């Protein structure tokens, strides 16, 4: 058998290695148009910033290493330009010599990845404008920084890679402006969670410019003059483009394979394309999202590597393994703040017409009496009918990764908020609390669905202000330090003796710092017959989001 793989980075190299472990006698050819195979492109921003000091640390394997260990025919700087499905051949070009040639295949695997989006902006091809997608990209960027000693950089895009780039540039002593087209950083997150990150960035002296975009780039001596849609102009020494990626599906499209609405290659649960002898995986494909119920592209390394194993198994062993789709579990570090997401955001659920309830909880990352605990914020999305967990977002300094992984595993097996309340976790004071923040998020969701509390969201307060009494149940000291306009202060511990101050004919909006005291006050007032709503996430969420 002869297997041909197009693309030799994460998905392609993993597929090739697994194929060899399953079939020692097969001929396996890997085409990679770049200079390198099997490297960790997720580590590139940290290599640029010096956190990863050795370039060789990025490489899982070299082309020669793959040849020697796995007996693979690895052809770097060779690009597949055409697939003839009738004759089952690919046409390739040696990018060094220019020679064109063809190779026959029995099974073909497409793993071309994705390419960074470059906006149609004049001057965008200047030598001081960079992307961070490949080893070559990072080499050019690192050389530019070493040779030119830039003082000011503009990062276009406030997503995962953009924020990682900004942090690493600041660690090198370079001032950074981030320009983001949307009204928040981390566009996959919901606004009120991303707002926590935006405030953190400002504290770290990042010049954050939201609701704006690049219009033109022009050379101004040794500097770049960047004009924005708002009319603002920024002078910088360099620009990093991090405006997202697009599936590289041009080869598949040319071959007549089915392409999805988002531009990715459509595959089934066995990772087969519309041609049964051609498989595809990684950043180039679209698959059914288990929560949204529609095909989406999920450009992440974890899914690509898992898909690679499934592709190889199905090619050699038949359709023995299926991929259940990816719920987009991801995490990013932003100046010591860790931001994680899984499943669907509230915005995606709304645009997909999926009914949901959300709640926000803030709690300590480990037992409060043990030194070093920090705040952990969790937003949970779930079905109002059966409590099915649909998505989650977590922001914090400690323990974010293990909590998002817990919730992701519940979503993956179609679990509910009631499963969250029952999760058994490893507990000792340095690591968690007896009731973990994930348990607490489940408890709060259970209280909401069972009717023990009614909630209101931060962006609804103004809509209900005219016919509501807003009550701050924190201490007078906390109230004086900052409060919602028009609120009255009735501390929760005084509430039972001051019930006469609550009008029965009005809606009562209760809030505290993070929601717990508000819940206690709500329980008292609800059982006394008042029409009361607790502000989800408390004052902490409200003041960050407004």
Residue (of 445, 334, 328, 346) closest to 396 by Cα position? 334
Cα–Cα dist 49/338, whole Å: 18
Q: How far apart are CA 476 and CA 493, in angstroms?
A: 12
42 catalytic residue (yes or no): yes
Q: Measured between alpha carbons, how far apart are the two ends of the chain, in Å?
A: 61
Q: Is 430 exposed, middle or buried (0-12, 13-18, 19+ CB in 10 A)?
A: exposed
Q: How far apart are CA 206 and CA 200, in angstroms?
A: 9
> How do 233-236 and 114-116 pair as beta strands?
unpaired
Q: What is the distance between the alpha carbons of residues 424 and 108, in angstroms, rounded to a whole number?
A: 44
By C-alpha distance, which of 50, 45, 70, 75 is closest to 60?
70
- Which stretches does DSSP call E strand in 198-344? 207-210, 214-220, 223-228, 233-236, 238-241, 245-247, 265-266, 278-280, 285-288, 295-296, 330-334, 337-343
Task: For residue 389, give the H/E element and its range.
Answer: strand 389-396
What CA–CA distance (Å, rounded) separates 531 from 297? 44
Tokens of 38: 């099997």
Is residue 151 within 8 Å of 245, Cβ to Cβ?
A: no
Helix (H), strand (E) at residue 5: strand 2-6
* Phi, psi values for residue 450, rounded to 5°: -85, -5
Q: Which residues pair with 469 in a beta bridge?
A: 508
The residue annotated as part of the active site, out of 22, 26, 42, 60, is 42
280 strand-pairing partners: 110
In the block, residue with structure tokens 């010049």: 207
Catalytically annotated residues: 42
């Amino acid at each position: 058998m002869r297997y041909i793989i197009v693309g030799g980075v994460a998905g392609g190299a993993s597929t090739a290695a697994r194929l060899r472990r399953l079939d020692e006698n097969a001929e396996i050819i890997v085409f990679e148009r770049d200079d390198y195979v099997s490297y960790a492109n997720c580590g590139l921003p940290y290599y640029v910033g010096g956190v990863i000091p050795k370039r060789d640390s990025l490489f899982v394997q070299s082309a020669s290493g793959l040849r020697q260990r796995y007996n693979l025919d690895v052809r770097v700087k060779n690009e597949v330009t055409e697939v003839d499905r009738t004759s089952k051949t690919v046409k390739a070009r040696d990018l060094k010599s220019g020679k064109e040639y063809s190779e026959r295949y029995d099974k073909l695997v497409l793993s071309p990845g994705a390419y960074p989006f470059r906006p149609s902006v004049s001057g965008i091809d200047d030598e001081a404008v960079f992307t961070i997608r490949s080893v070559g990209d990072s080499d050019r960027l690192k050389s530019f920084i070493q040779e030119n000693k830039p003082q000011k950089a503009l990062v276009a895009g406030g997503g995962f890679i953009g924020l990682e780039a900004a942090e690493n540039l600041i660690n090198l002593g370079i001032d950074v402006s981030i320009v983001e087209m949307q009204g928040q950083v981390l566009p996959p997150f919901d606004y009120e969670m991303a707002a926590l990150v935006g405030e953190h960035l400002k504290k770290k002296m990042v010049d954050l410019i939201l609701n704006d975009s690049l219009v033109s780039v022009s050379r101004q001596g040794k500097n770049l003059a960047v004009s924005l849609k708002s009319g603002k102009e920024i002078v910088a020494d360099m620009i990093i483009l991090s405006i997202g990626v697009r599936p590289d599906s041009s080869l598949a499209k040319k071959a007549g394979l089915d392409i999805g609405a988002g531009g990715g290659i459509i595959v089934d649960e066995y990772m087969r394309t519309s041609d049964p002898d051609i498989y595809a995986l990684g950043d180039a494909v679209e698959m059914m999202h288990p929560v949204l119920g529609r095909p989406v592209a999920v450009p992440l390394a974890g899914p690509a590597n898992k898909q690679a194993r499934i592709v190889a198994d199905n090619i050699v062993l038949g359709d023995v393994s299926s991929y259940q789709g990816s719920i987009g579990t991801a995490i990013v570090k932003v100046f010591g703040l860790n931001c994680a997401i899984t499943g669907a955001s509230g915005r995606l659920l709304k645009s997909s017409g999926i009914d949901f309830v959300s709640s926000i909880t803030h709690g300590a990352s480990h037992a409060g009496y043990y030194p070093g605990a920090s705040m952990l914020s969790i937003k949970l999305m779930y079905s109002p009918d059966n409590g099915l967990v649909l998505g989650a977002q977590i922001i914090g300094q400690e323990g974010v990764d293990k909590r998002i992984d817990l919730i992701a595993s519940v979503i993956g097996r179609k679990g509910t908020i009631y499963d969250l309340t029952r999760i058994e976790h490893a507990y000792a004071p340095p690591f968690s609390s007896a009731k973990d923040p994930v348990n607490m998020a489940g408890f709060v969701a259970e209280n909401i669905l069972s009717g023990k509390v009614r909630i209101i969201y931060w962006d609804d307060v103004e809509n209900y202000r005219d016919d509501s009494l807003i009550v701050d149940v924190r201490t007078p000291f906390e109230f004086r330090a900052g409060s919602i306009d028009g609120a009255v202060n009735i501390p929760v511990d005084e509430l039972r003796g001051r019930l006469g101050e609550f009008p029965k004919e009005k809606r009562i909006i209760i809030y505290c710092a993070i929601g717990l005291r508000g819940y206690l006050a709500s329980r008292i007032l609800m059982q006394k017959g008042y029409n009361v709503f607790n502000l989800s996430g408390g004052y902490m969420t409200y003041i960050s989001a407004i």
